[in-house]
Amino acid sequence: MSDWPEGDWPAGYGRLMLESVDSTLDEARRRVAECAGPTWIFAARQRAARGRRGRAWLQPEGNFSATLLLPTPGAPDRAALRSFVAALALADALEGLGVAPRLKWPNDVLLAGGKLAGILLEGLPGGALAIGIGVNLAAAPDPARLEPGAAAPVALAGQGVRIAPEDFLPLLARAWAAREGQFAAYGFAPIRAAWLERAARLGEAIEVRLPRERFRGIFKDVDAAGRLVLSSGEGEGGGERRVAAGEVFFSGAEPGGEDASGD
């Protein structure tokens, strides 16, 4: 594993570098009692990585997997907003490499119309928070293993940018520290504004899927609680709907890319 000059790593953050682990999220759960401050847990290989709703997260060799363990993330509503902080940090790190990602509510990063990265938040004992992040740096998983309608995954290398996972980590860690500092000092408002500047399909029709319901609407905003705001167009004169948790699917092509459907 790489060792970096001290200036390349943000002050106040620990790091644990592993060759192989079942899941960095599971490793964070095992180590929560021993980490006094925020700690990045990186693994070159994960044997049982997972995404939202327990789905397997595929990790071809050369892709990035890490979990940020936050022992004291604050109240649950504040902790949940870290998905936006993480997405912005990823966007900042990627923009520094010369690409222009788009952000998809609630927790995906898109590039050239496909899914480049995913973020998963899990609560841990004692009120701690684990933020799992996977990025397709070198290769995209086989689309045949995805659910119907899901976006074809893309890799950063496919855009002509190559970087080793252990070299991507300090870029992301510095970007996170900057955005977390902004969140701590000024609250969610500047995070929300910066996220919306990079939002995919803002002002366009999208589909939201809940466990027992599907509906379409115009993606209008993300509110101060991080909820998706849709103009449903239903009922007299239309209506507005706010979604706290769900899955978003697009139809058609993302500008500048291929299909950008779903998670």
Read off the pLDDT of residues 194-205 as tens digits, 9 standing for 90 and up: 999 999 999 999
Position 237 confidence tier, pLDDT thresholds 50, 70, 90: very low
Query: Does the structure show a pLDDT above 70 at 6?
Result: no
User: What pLDDT was estimated at residue 169?
Assistant: 98
Any idea which of 6-10, 156-160, 232-236 has the lowest mean pLDDT?
Answer: 232-236
User: What pLDDT was estimated at residue 163?
Assistant: 98
Report the distance separating Cα 108 and Cα 46, nearest Å.
20
Query: Does the structure show a pLDDT above 90 at 3?
Result: no
Q: What is the mean predicted confidence (pLDDT) over 61-68? A: 94
Position 80 confidence tier, pLDDT thresholds 50, 70, 90: very high
Amino acid at 94: L
Position 235 confidence tier, pLDDT thresholds 50, 70, 90: very low
User: What pLDDT was estimated at residue 180?
Assistant: 98
Q: Can you point out the beta strands (E) in 83-239?
A: 102-104, 108-111, 114-123, 129-135, 205-210, 213-222, 228-231
Query: Does the structure show a pLDDT above 60 at 254?
Result: no
Identify the CA nearest to 208 among candidates 192, 236, 227, 224: 227
Query: Does the structure show a pLDDT above 60 at 37?
Result: yes
User: What pLDDT was estimated at residue 46?
Assistant: 82
Position 256 confidence tier, pLDDT thresholds 50, 70, 90: very low
Query: Does the structure show a pLDDT above 90 at 176?
Result: yes
Range of 3-12, 59-68, 196-205, 248-257 with top mean pLDDT = 196-205
Edge-first strand order for the sheet with 247-249 is 240-243, 228-231, 213-222, 205-210, 247-249
- Cβ-contact 230, 217 below 8 angstroms: yes
* H/E stretch holding 16: strand 14-21
Query: Does the structure show a pLDDT above 70 at 122?
Result: yes
- Cβ-contact 226, 188 below 8 angstroms: yes
Q: What is the mean predicted confidence (pLDDT) over 1-21? A: 80
Instruction: Give the relative orientation of helices 82-95 and 165-186 as an angle to the nearest 10 degrees.
Output: 130
Domains along the sequence of the chain with CATH: 6-197 (3.30.930.10), 205-249 (2.30.30)
- Cβ-contact 173, 9 below 8 angstroms: yes
Q: What is the mean predicted confidence (pLDDT) over 119-136? A: 95
Q: What is the mean pLDDT of the chain?
A: 87
- Cβ-contact 153, 140 below 8 angstroms: yes
Q: What is the mean predicted confidence (pLDDT) over 162-191? A: 98
Which residue, chain included where needed, has tokens 């890319």? 257
- Cβ-contact 249, 214 below 8 angstroms: no
Position 150 confidence tier, pLDDT thresholds 50, 70, 90: low
Share of the chain above pLDDT 90, in %: 73
Query: Does the structure show a pLDDT above 60 at 22?
Result: yes
* H/E stretch holding 67: strand 64-70
